Structure 1
Amino acid sequence: MITWRRLAEDDFPLLISWLEQPHVARWWNHETSPEAVERDFGPAVRREEPAEVLLAHLDGTPVGLLQYCRLADYPEYVKELAPLAEVPAEAMTIDYLIGDPQLVGQGLGPRMIRSALRSIWHDHPRASCVLVPVVAANRASWRALEKAGLLRIASGDLEPDNPVDDPAHHLYRIDRPGRTGADPPDLSRVAPHATPGPGTAR
């Protein structure tokens, strides 16, 4: 069973160990000094900014990280995504990782994403949809999104987290279950090989 709790400063050493794992470092490309982790995660932990950062626990053991936020709270992010697709006012986004390399490829990524979506729909009743951009080269990540039920709605160039990557990204979307009047995704932008549905978590 997957459960969640908010990230705390006491968790930073664990988070650093995860960010240093090759399968995470390849895509997150994050500085791992204590100062850098405090700089980038501390404000959310102290609730000084609107993003939420959670630890995923599998049967009581921490196994991964999830970040989510309302896109409108980060206008620069909305501006970056706008050329690919319309960003609804109450749209949210997620980012995620599996910390233990031995758990990668075991189906945990889609389970984490599905569990996170249930929490988002429950805790954020105004959230209309979740949009997730993922670098096209990270096939494991976008396959996990597809397995969790997200649909690829667009492809295009965005600045990658890791400068070694090509800017090509895919954009995935899932609407709130049972939402009436949901704007249909612009399927004219879907890549020809896209399959419905939504990275082993990065």
Structure 2
Amino acid sequence: MIVLRQMKTDDLPLFKSWLHTPHVAKWYHDPQDWIEEAEKQDSDFRWLHHFMVEHEGRPVGFCQYYACEDSDELWEGYTALGGSYSIDYMIGETDCLRRGFGKEIVMALTEKIMNHDDAKRIVVQPEPENKASCGLLLSCGFIFDTETGVYIKQVSHDLVTQP
């Protein structure tokens, strides 16, 4: 089981190292952009919700979510609909690949997004060549929109459990 915790400044060296590992760098282009967002998460990029993924107290990955309307991305028209959120995720530690953590991350992010009253859908657009991510999204209940190339999951507030 994984835990998502707020990313801290102390996490930046590890995050930076993950961005340069081959299995991450293949999909996370322009690492400096990702680093800048993480470094400025309390200022310019406070609209992004950054998390470290931990397994048994050990950081093993990174993820984030955001309201599409807060970004400059149009998301093939989904931003204009309102209530659209997007996610990013990675397993940084090589020995943690193919252990089911990706699915746990996506489900945990979905739950966090469902806690927003305006949330209606989650939209994600991994590179088509990233077969692992595409398959992961489908296994988490996302539907592939063949016209836009976007994976979509409708969220229902009826499923949110109150603490």
- The TM tier, using the shorter chain, reads 0.7 to 0.9
Q: In the TM superposition, what is the alpha-carbon distance from 1:31 to its structure 2 partner? A: 3.0
Contact persistence 2:62–2:92 (CA under 8 A): yes
1:129 and 2:126 aligned: no
**Given the superposition, is the C-alpha separation of residues 41 and 178 from structure 1 closer, same or farther in structure 2, using an over 3 Å criterion?**
closer
1:91 and 2:84 aligned: yes
**Given the superposition, is the C-alpha separation of residues 130 and 39 from structure 1 closer, same or farther in structure 2, using an over 3 Å criterion?**
same
The aligned counterpart of 1:188 is none
Contact persistence 1:12–1:37 (CA under 8 A): no
**Given the superposition, is the C-alpha separation of residues 100 and 175 from structure 1 closer, same or farther in structure 2, using an over 3 Å criterion?**
same
Q: Deviations over 1:149-200 (max 9, x none)?
A: 11112355xxxxxxxxxxxxx3111111256xxxxxxxxxxxxxxxxxxxxx
> 1:138 pairs with 110, 119, 130, which one?
130
**Given the superposition, is the C-alpha separation of residues 174 and 10 from structure 1 closer, same or farther in structure 2, using an over 3 Å criterion?**
same
Unmatched tracts of structure 2, length 5 or more:
159-163
The aligned counterpart of 1:27 is 27
Structure 1: 4+ residue segments shifted above 4 A? none
In structure 2, C-alpha distance between the alignment counterparts of 1:128 and 1:37, rounded to whole Å: 26
The aligned counterpart of 1:3 is 3
The aligned counterpart of 1:177 is 156
The aligned counterpart of 2:139 is 147
1:13 and 2:18 aligned: no
Q: In the TM superposition, what is the alpha-carbon distance from 1:120 to its structure 2 partner? A: 1.6
**Given the superposition, is the C-alpha separation of residues 37 and 91 from structure 1 closer, same or farther in structure 2, using an over 3 Å criterion?**
closer
**Given the superposition, is the C-alpha separation of residues 155 and 27 from structure 1 closer, same or farther in structure 2, using an over 3 Å criterion?**
farther
Unmatched tracts of structure 1, length 5 or more:
157-169, 180-202
TM-score norm. by structure 2 comes to 0.86
CA RMSD across the alignment: 2.0
> Which SS does the other structure have where 2:31 is aligned?
coil
TM-score norm. by structure 1 comes to 0.70
The aligned counterpart of 2:100 is 107
The aligned counterpart of 1:64 is 61
Q: Deviations over 1:24-73 (max 9, x none)?
A: 000102336xxx665232222x1433111111111221111111110011
Question: Of the two, which has the highest radius of gyration?
Answer: 1
AA in 2 matched with 1:40: E
Question: How many percent identity over aligned positions?
Answer: 25
Q: In the TM superposition, what is the alpha-carbon distance from 1:81 to its structure 2 partner? A: 2.1
Q: In the TM superposition, what is the alpha-carbon distance from 1:20 to its structure 2 partner? A: 1.2
The aligned counterpart of 1:81 is 76
> Which SS does the other structure have where 2:98 is aligned?
coil
Contact persistence 2:83–2:119 (CA under 8 A): yes
